[in-house]
Amino acid sequence: MLRAGRAPPFFKKEVLSLKRFWKMATVACDDGRFTIRLDGRKMRLPGGPALCLDSEALALAIAAEWQAVGATMSAEDVPLTQLAGTAQERVARDRAAAVDALAKYARSDLLCYRAEGPKALVALQEERWQPWLDWAAARFGARLIVTRGVMPVAQTAHAVAALRDVLGRLKIPVLAGLGTLVPATGSLVLGLAVAEGALAPEAAFELAFLDEVFQARLWGEDDLAASRRAAVAAEILVASRFIRLNDAVADAPS
């Protein structure tokens, strides 16, 4: 099982740290696409090309990120920029690799790995998780197999192929957003549900950390774990917002 918060290498984020050298971050339209201007100069990605966006709403949100930073900045200050750069420089250039990285979660979806006890947690997982596996079966024709404990369970070739087919027909921004959503939740099913607007990002976070929060309430909270969950929750919200700003709802089967 691929654990929540551990991103596949293809979607690894760029390291960014620099001093602010601009006064104004604005948006310009060039041949129907939108660019970010820092004091009139086009913002460029690590690979060299200018960041070009199809969504004006996303461009305005990215400009706002850069306008809001202080004297120094890091990648955490501009998460939408990071996702937009990933979409343009990585996903668009190698769509197949993006699909491969995400499709691995079809074989190890968090929702398929249930606790053996206590009974209250077993019942809670059944109540909260099973409806989303049923949703994936009805929506995509992918009936995933559930197991108890952490030993791997072999999913059917049909279910894996069905989810891979869905990924293969998604738009570039959705794949980029899923590159954060899926590792953060540990679930391809939850990621797709958020991308389609069927599940709120806040609810996806709660489902992804259902067992951890249950144990914390039972045995007491760990400050480090709580801090990590808060960071993951923020990532899920940003990725969901990125997809919405792109107005890129999945082209999945009806």
**Structure tokens, 7:** 């991103």
Helix/strand/coil for 24 = coil
Q: Could you tell me if 130 and 239 lie in one domain?
A: yes
Q: Can you tell me which residue has the tokens 């120094």? A: 72
Distance, CA of 51 to CA of 53 (rounded, Å): 7
Is residue 235 in a domain? yes
Q: Could you tell me if 72 and 106 lie in one domain?
A: no
Per residue in 80-138, pLDDT (tens digit) is: 999 999 999 999 999 999 999 999 999 999 999 999 999 999 999 999 999 999 999 99
Q: Could you tell me if 37 and 109 lie in one domain?
A: no
Q: Could you tell me if 56 and 159 lie in one domain?
A: no
Is residue 37 in a domain? yes
Q: Could you tell me if 130 and 160 lie in one domain?
A: yes
DSSP element (H, E) containing 127: helix 119-140
Nearest CA to 51 out of 92, 19, 109, 100 is that of 92
Distance, CA of 45 to CA of 81 (rounded, Å): 9
Q: Give the domain CATH number at 211.
A: 1.10.3580.10
Bigger pLDDT: 11 or 17? 17
CA distances from 218 to 3, 118, 141, 211 (A): 22, 11, 37, 11
Taking CA 134 as the corner, what is the angle to CA 129 and CA 139, rounded to the nearest 5 degrees?
A: 125
176 exposed, middle or buried (CB, 10 Å; 0-12, 13-18, 19+)? buried
Q: Could you tell me if 113 and 51 lie in one domain?
A: no
Q: Give the domain CATH number at 37.
A: 3.30.2180.10
Given 35, 50, 77, the domain boundary residue is: 77
Q: Could you tell me if 167 and 238 lie in one domain?
A: yes
Per residue in 191-226, pLDDT (tens digit) is: 999 999 999 999 999 999 999 999 888 888 788 988
- When divided into structural domains, the chain yields a total of 2
Tell me, what amino acid is at 103?
Answer: A
Is residue 86 in a domain? no
Q: Could you tell me if 101 and 164 lie in one domain?
A: yes
Is residue 8 in a domain? no
Is residue 150 in a domain? yes
Per residue in 42-59, pLDDT (tens digit) is: 999 888 899 999 999 999
Q: Could you tell me if 47 and 151 lie in one domain?
A: no
Write down the pLDDT at residue 74.
85
Is residue 5 in a domain? no
Q: Could you tell me if 171 and 215 lie in one domain?
A: yes
Q: Could you tell me if 67 and 157 lie in one domain?
A: no
Distance, CA of 200 to CA of 197 (rounded, Å): 7
Given 31, 47, 77, the domain boundary residue is: 77
Is residue 85 in a domain? no
Instruction: Determine the structural domain holding residue 67 and report its residue range.
Output: 17-77
Helix/strand/coil for 165 = helix
What's this model's pTM, rounded to 2 decimal places?
Answer: 0.90
Is residue 90 in a domain? no
Taking CA 76 as the corner, what is the angle to CA 29 and CA 51, rounded to the nearest 5 degrees?
A: 25
Per residue in 152-190, pLDDT (tens digit) is: 899 999 999 999 999 999 999 999 999 999 999 999 999
Q: Could you tell me if 119 and 210 lie in one domain?
A: yes
